[in-house]
């Protein structure tokens, strides 16, 4: 009995360590996802990465895959790097590029060898060893991360795991910074763009503000700036915000300001399509590929062509399809269901969610590698209650829109209603406000809306009370394993199996499930 208790405690400790590490990786990637300048990149190195990895120098070397030389993208000890070129086959960059594992360099045995000058300077500074890691390809860019230490024992296995897991986000951040710098060079005076967007002031009788989005609050001005900045690129955009905040309007604005504006944006709501049909909807199917497939179907990605595809409610995408979407983002190619031909696609991807994808990743409902790949350029849409100064303009816009549609002459709100609208919490955001204005219009008896009935928010007693339930370690372990296995659709082994997420060999997990009484009907029901 004691032995079983000890094993349970060990397993729980492993699970807790795994969760802490996963949480750390998510927080690091989230910080890097917001970076658009080398200055901000340096700040995160100083404040976040250096305390974790205790490196003495951090260097990223980068090149385009068509070039025969590389440059230093960033160096921690010397942030202002030069434009000097280095040969690819120098015994450092090329060795890392050709290795799938971390490469260890012994800096004590470099005398008499021809090495890059930045390595020589590091060696002269008394560094004992260094490591090199090839970062994942992003848009053809090849990047190598070099870490150097004065103490050879500083870099641990845990450090290596974390670096490997944040590698994709590092490559994406590098690409974001380079894209941002290209935009600054192309538009030498970005202030003119901001000025032009600010000149589009919301008017009570106008149908547009910024690309059809109503609002002049500071939080919305920031959103407009982000839209203007990312629209001219081909970067993937992740739009987050509560239900009813206008995520689709933001996606349309990005598309309309892009080079693809003359083509139709393809929209897909991942939450409204049955699970058994969504793969066919996205990627298409060949005739006869399954029962009911009587004709060839062209999927949404193919329909988008060289335009934009907008995937709304991306958090609802089933786990088994997330890997296929990741392939589309990385390889720019798809395969129809039942097809053998690989089809190239070049659609710009914009996704939206009302969920916290970071939490979904932590809960095992969303693939971390897909999240990092989607989180290239995040845009957070503020809730209506956080931009109350926009409520009056929005209400007037909706009043004009629906009164014209209904043929009614109603042109304003009483002071009482205006005050009540500003005080309301608007849990349904802009969508709820529009519905309330339309409803109030139907009951209006004069040219002014004098009454508006706001719904009461009822909080159940069960949600307001805190219930403390003491469980045994065995019960906690059983619940946790069962939850992870369910999230993996009953899959135990393999790259997307529960054993990988739990950090256990598949045979050990199966044995543990048998001891805990977990049967197939518990997670496949």
Q: Residue 314: inside a domain, yes or no?
A: yes
pLDDT at 460 over 80: no
We report the CATH number of the domain holding residue 395 as: 1.10.8.60
Residues 332 and 443 in one domain: no
Helix (H, G, I), strand (E, B) or coil at 239: strand
pTM: 0.58
Cβ neighbours of residue 438 closer than 8 Å, sequence gap 6 or more: 398, 402
Q: Residue 245: inside a domain, yes or no?
A: yes
pLDDT at 306 over 70: yes
Last residue of a domain, one of 380, 405, 420: 380
Residues 408 and 513 in one domain: no
Last residue of a domain, one of 356, 380, 404: 380
Residues 135 and 256 in one domain: no
Residues 198 and 165 in one domain: no
- The pLDDT value given to residue 377: 92
Of 38-52, 102-116, 242-256, give the lowest mean pLDDT range.
Answer: 102-116
Residues 264 and 330 in one domain: yes
- The pLDDT value given to residue 457: 55
We report the CATH number of the domain holding residue 170 as: 3.30.450.40
Q: Residue 459: inside a domain, yes or no?
A: no
Residues 276 and 369 in one domain: yes
Q: Residue 43: inside a domain, yes or no?
A: yes
Confidence of residue 517 (pLDDT cuts 50, 70, 90): confident
Residues 373 and 390 in one domain: no
Top mean pLDDT of 289-303, 401-415, 418-432 is at 418-432
Confidence of residue 221 (pLDDT cuts 50, 70, 90): very high
In Å, how far are 14, 15, 362, 478 from 11, measured between CA atoms?
5, 6, 18, 11
Residues 260 and 293 in one domain: yes
Q: Which residue has the higher pLDDT, 9 or 277?
A: 277
* Whether the Cβ atoms of residue 307 and residue 347 lie closer than 8 Å to each other: yes
Q: Residue 467: inside a domain, yes or no?
A: no
Top mean pLDDT of 79-88, 323-332, 484-493 is at 323-332
pLDDT at 467 over 80: no
Range of the domain at 101: 2-181
Rounded Cα distance, 353 and 330, in Å? 21
Q: Which residue has the higher pLDDT, 180 or 95?
A: 95
Q: Residue 468: inside a domain, yes or no?
A: no
Last residue of a domain, one of 181, 202, 221: 181
Q: Residue 143: inside a domain, yes or no?
A: yes
Residues 228 and 321 in one domain: yes
Q: Residue 243: inside a domain, yes or no?
A: yes
H-helix or E-strand spanning residue 29: helix 2-33
- The total number of structural domains that make up the chain: 4
């Amino acid at each position: 009995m004691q032995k079983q208790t000890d094993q349970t405690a060990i397993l729980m400790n492993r699970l807790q360590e795994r969760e802490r590490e996963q949480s750390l990786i998510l927080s690091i990637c989230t910080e890097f996802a917001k970076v658009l300048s080398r200055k901000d990149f340096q700040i995160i190195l100083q404040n976040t990465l250096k305390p974790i990895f205790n490196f003495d120098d951090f260097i990223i070397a980068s090149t385009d895959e068509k070039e025969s030389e590389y440059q230093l993208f960033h160096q921690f000890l010397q942030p202002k790097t030069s434009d000097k070129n280095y040969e690819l086959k120098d015994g450092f960059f090329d060795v890392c590029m050709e290795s799938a594992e971390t490469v260890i360099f012994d800096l004590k045995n470099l005398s008499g060898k021809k090495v890059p000058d930045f390595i020589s300077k590091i060696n002269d500074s008394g560094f004992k060893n260094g490591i090199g890691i090839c970062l994942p390809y992003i848009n053809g860019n090849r990047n190598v991360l070099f870490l150097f230490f004065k103490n050879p024992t500083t870099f641990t296995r845990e450090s290596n795991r974390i670096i490997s897991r944040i590698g994709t986000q590092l490559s994406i951040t590098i690409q974001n910074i380079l894209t941002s710098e290209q935009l600054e060079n192309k538009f030498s005076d970005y202030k003119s763009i901001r000025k032009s967007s600010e000149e589009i002031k919301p008017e009570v009788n106008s149908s547009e503000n910024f690309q059809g989005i109503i609002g002049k609050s500071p939080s919305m001005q920031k959103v407009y700036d982000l839209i203007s900045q990312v629209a001219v690129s081909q970067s993937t955009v992740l739009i987050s915000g509560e239900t009813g905040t206008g995520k689709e309007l933001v996606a349309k604005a990005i598309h309309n300001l892009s080079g693809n504006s003359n083509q139709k944006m393809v929209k897909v709501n991942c939450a409204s399509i049955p699970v058994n049909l969504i793969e066919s909807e996205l990627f298409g199917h060949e005739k006869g590929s399954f029962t009911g497939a009587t004709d060839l179907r062209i999927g949404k990605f193919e329909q988008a062509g060289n335009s934009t595809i907008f995937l709304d409610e991306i958090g609802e995408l089933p786990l088994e399809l997330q890997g296929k979407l990741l392939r589309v983002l990385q390889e720019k190619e798809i395969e129809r269901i039942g097809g053998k031909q690989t089809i190239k696609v070049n659609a710009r991807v914009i996704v939206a969610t009302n969920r916290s994808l970071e939490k979904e990743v932590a809960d095992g409902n969303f693939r971390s590698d897909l999240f990092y790949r989607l989180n290239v350029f995040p845009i957070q849409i503020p809730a209506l209650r956080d931009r109350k100064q926009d409520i009056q303009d929005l209400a007037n816009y909706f009043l004009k829109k629906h009164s014209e549609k209904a043929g009614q002459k109603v042109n304003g709100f009483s002071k009482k209603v205006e005050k009540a609208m500003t005080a309301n919490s608007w849990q349904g955001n802009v969508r709820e406000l529009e519905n309330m204005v339309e409803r109030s219009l139907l009951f209006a008896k004069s040219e002014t809306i004098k009454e508006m009935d706001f719904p009461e928010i009822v909080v159940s007693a069960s949600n307001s009370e805190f219930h403390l339930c003491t469980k045994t370690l065995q019960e906690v372990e059983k619940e946790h394993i069962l939850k992870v296995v369910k999230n993996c659709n009953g899959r135990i082994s393999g790259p997307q199996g529960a054993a990988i997420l739990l950090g256990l060999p598949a045979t050990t997990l199966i044995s543990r499930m048998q001891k805990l009484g977990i049967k197939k009907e518990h997670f496949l029901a």
